[in-house]
Amino acid sequence: MNLITVIPLTRQKVAPTLSYFTSSVVPVGAIVEVPLRSKTISAIVSDSRPVADVKADVKSAPFEIRKLGIVKAIAFFPPSFIEACRSLALHYATTTGSIIDAVIPDILMENAHKITAPNSVLPTPVNAVPNEVYAVQGDDADRFSTWRSLIRQEFARKKSVVFHTPTIEDAKNMFKLLEKGIEGYIFVLHNKLAKKEIIETWEAIAKTDHAVTIITAGIFPLLPRTDISSVVIERENGRGWISPKTPYLDLRKAFEIINKHAPGRNIYLADSLLRAETLYRLDKNEVSQGSPFKWRSISNATDRLINMVPERTTEKLEDRSREIGEAADAQTENTSNSKLPTSNSTFRILSPELEHLIATNRDENSHLFIYAVRRGLATMTVCSDCETIVTCASCASPVVLHASKETGRNFFMCHVCGVRRSADEVCRHCGGWRLTALGIGLDRVEQEIKTKYPDIDVYKIDADITKTDKQISATLDKFRSKPGSILLGTEIASLHLHETVDHCAIVSLDSLFALPDFRIPEKIMYTLIRLRTLAGRSILVQTRKIEEKVFEYGLKGNLSDFHRETISERRRFGYPPFMTLIKISIEGKKDSIAEQMSEIQKIIEPYEIDIFPAFTGASRGNSIIHGLLKLPPEMWPNIELAEKLRNLPPNVSVKVDPESLL
């Protein structure tokens, strides 16, 4: 009889390890099915010993150890991987099992007994050189040239290369750009593939005698090769790296830690603009330059920054004030009638410069991409009487004004929970009827262009009408095949645009400045750099915040000055990389969660929590409250504090290194 210790693979709050009796001989690293409460879950064997060797421990155990029947299992997880996950569990104040459950696809767990194990292809290298971490910053063309050279170099050494990307679209595009010349030795893995296709690709990777290039999206930190010598985390400043469910794992950190535990692997962090945290590591010589480093993004496109705030003279000030009042009244009246102010209003959607660009694009049979932050007509609606923001009745998030194509009427839609309601309403706070739509949504831009330029073909990509990759591709094909046309899109469109477009324009990024989040300047800069790279001939940006330096930095590709300013601001206000942030969140009734947060403050003393309400609300009339811990990097992870955080009640969410503080 043997006593096995297992790591339960669940994101529920359970003990880090469990013990069971079994008559089977079970190897460490094997996946087994074990009973937990009334369910059966997967678990990984972390220790196995004869009962005779641990009689004293069994007798003194404060709980009854359950028996297992015959277990059929093979060693699947390398010990180095389990050790890396233990390290990650401490950092994220969670269990090792929840980390493994977050990074390993279910399809691998379910078929572990059928497929090649990650550590069984080639022998582990002896006397492997220490791992190095490199930073690569440069435009897309420069980076992909670096990757082609890296693949040739590693293939000559009979070594394999792995690329991790934040999105499936990035993985597909990378495959297209790298496959020439290495057909048959390059593979793509992501969780949208059919289960059969995932298993077949996995086995092909394992059984190919030649060195291979593997591109993954999202998860798959473990692969069935031990000849991997280089791991690239591509577009490391992009969105999509944070696990959407507990333990809210940053996959960039997970991939780096896991590969650091595997001997002889070099790690590359790469993007057109690396994160401030990564560039600071470069400043501190914690990482090295992996290729000629670019502190300026190069583009042949001409750039124009358009000030959307009209000049006002003293003589006209009174007249302008009257016009603004009349426009606000008209805008409020029309909110429910699906008519928003046009060019007769003092608020312009399209500047004269952008209108000229639209006409030029048509006359020259070129192509124009116009970017907006959000879909809909207006990104926010505010009561002009009491300044209350119109919010969702279900989750209290600010709603976005949309127009119905079927009825022609306006409606409010929550982009958080998806709830819709008619825009025929008054202010729920004061009863006022002067509801004013603010901001520029994608649908509003579409209305304006179609009104002024009915002869121009306009195509649109957003989550409402292009819900699948196939629909997005079809829209892009139509746009490319129609000279003089315009493509409208949000961030989802920019992610699918890989070939240059003659002209790019940004209607407005100004609504982002209203978000109380320290990463917003970096997000705006990243958007500017990406669209500037896409623009073949010109890029035009409209703003009512002309004084913001990020526009100058972005349009001129000035990465070095932007980094210096960002790091200075982060240091001044105590944000990463100068502090480790831990966000504690509770959802529920306002008084109840305030009391619970006070109890948590007592539990984690002497550490202090800054308590503040969430920027957005929750469902069913609940509220959300956040507590923020700021710790010097050298003080985290802290074993005692991590244990306290891990043992908080299930309704308490803990996010270490949160992507957002909202």
Number of structural domains, the chain? 4
**DSSP symbols for 471-484:** HHHHHHHHHHTSTT
Using DSSP's 3-state secondary structure scheme, residue 553 falls into helix
Domain-located, residue 274: yes
How far is the C-alpha of 378 from the C-alpha of 442, rounded, in Å? 8
* 146 and 209 part of one domain: yes
Q: Cα(205)–Cα(201) distance, rounded to whole angstroms?
A: 6
Looking at the fold, whether 451 and 482 belong to one and the same domain comes out as yes
Residues 383 and 483 in one domain: yes
pLDDT at 126: 52
Give the chain's radius of gyration (CA, Å): 28
Q: In what order do the strands lie in the sheet with 2-8?
A: 31-36, 39-50, 2-8, 18-22, 66-67
Same domain for 395 and 483, yes or no, is yes
Judgement on whether residues 403 and 540 belong to the same structural domain of the protein? yes
CATH code for position 358:
3.40.50
Instruction: Give the end of a domain, one of 47, 75, 110.
Output: 110
Enumerate residue ranges in the chain where pLDDT < 70: 53-64, 69-73, 119-130, 312-346, 375-380, 387, 395-396, 404-406, 408, 415-417, 437-439, 615-621
Same domain, 381 and 448: yes
Q: Are residues 480 and 352 part of one domain?
A: yes
Domain that holds residue 602: 580-656
The pLDDT of residue 476: 96
Q: Can you tell me the distance from the alpha carbon of 202 to that of 223, in angstroms, rounded to the nearest whole number?
A: 8
Q: Mind giving me the DSSP string for 585-612?
A: EEEE-HHHHHHHHHHHHHHTTTS--EEE
- 574 in any annotated domain: no
Residues 81, 190 share a domain: no
Of 557, 589, 617, the last residue of a domain is: 557
Rounded CA separation 631/403 (Å): 46
Considering the domain architecture, whether residues 368 and 485 belong to the same structural domain is answered as yes
Question: Could you give the percent of the chain with pLDDT greater than 70?
Answer: 86
Tell me how far apart the alpha carbons of residues 491 and 452 are, in angstroms, rounded to a whole number: 25
Cis peptide before 606 (omega within 30 of 0): yes
C-alpha neighbours within 13 Å on the C-beta side of residue 584: 30
Q: Provide the CATH number for the domain around residue 606.
A: 3.30.70.600
- Token look-up 């539990």 returns 603
CB proximity list for 59: less than 8 A, separation 6 or greater:
none
Report residue 553: phi and psi, to 5°: -60, -45
CB 603 within 8 A of CB 654: no
- At 1 the three-state DSSP class reads coil
The answer on 494 and 345 residing in a single domain is yes
Instruction: Look at residue 297 and tell me if it is in a domain.
Output: no
Q: Are residues 261 and 363 part of one domain?
A: no
How far is the C-alpha of 397 from the C-alpha of 93, rounded, in Å? 29
Residues 98 and 208 in one domain: no
Closest CA to 495 of 409, 623, 371: 371
